[in-house]
């Protein structure tokens, strides 16, 4: 009981926000990455385009980053900034991360619409 009750409740609130950011980060990156990698996971016609590197390496690393980066950013930002500014910093970091992912990660996509199954 060395801490004041107000400081303890603030610490709990910051911890709860960090956990919420972890869940939200994993959900957002999962939705973003899984939608881009859907063709690679499905494999196309008879599974010929299934890429196990994307399934076993890329997606777990992306989901791990989405789980870890937002709460670490929150923890670092709340040391020097107010909570509302820390939320803005977290949103900016997640936005930049998703932008970088979209710019640099290109899993195999379905062929163009003209290349169909035929008659």
- The string of pLDDT tens digits covering residues 31-89 is 999 988 888 888 777 777 788 888 899 999 999 999 999 999 988 998 888 888 988 99
The predicted pLDDT at position 100 comes to 93
Look up the domain containing 72 and give its range. Answer: 9-104
The predicted pLDDT at position 112 comes to 56
Would 110 be classed as within a structural domain? no
Structural domains in the chain (count) = 1
Would 3 be classed as within a structural domain? no
Residue pair 67/26 in contact (Cβ under 8 Å)? The answer is: yes
Would 79 be classed as within a structural domain? yes
The predicted pLDDT at position 95 comes to 92
The predicted pLDDT at position 115 comes to 55
Would 28 be classed as within a structural domain? yes
Mean pLDDT, the chain, rounded, equals 84
Would 78 be classed as within a structural domain? yes
Would 65 be classed as within a structural domain? yes
Would 115 be classed as within a structural domain? no
Q: How would residue 117 be classed by pLDDT, with cut points 50, 70 and 90?
A: low
Would 43 be classed as within a structural domain? yes
Is this structure's pTM higher than 0.85? no
């Amino acid at each position: 009981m060395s801490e004041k009750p107000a400081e303890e409740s603030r610490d709990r609130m910051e911890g709860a926000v960090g956990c919420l950011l972890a869940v939200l980060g994993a959900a957002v990156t999962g939705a973003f990455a899984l939608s881009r990698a859907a063709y690679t996971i499905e494999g196309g016609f008879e599974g010929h385009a299934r890429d196990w590197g994307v399934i076993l390496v890329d997606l777990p690393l992306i989901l791990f980053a989405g789980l870890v980066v937002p709460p670490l950013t929150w923890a670092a930002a709340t040391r020097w900034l107010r909570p509302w500014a820390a939320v803005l910093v977290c949103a900016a970091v997640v936005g930049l991360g998703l932008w970088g992912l979209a710019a640099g990660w290109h899993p195999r996509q379905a062929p163009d619409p003209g290349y169909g199954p035929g008659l």
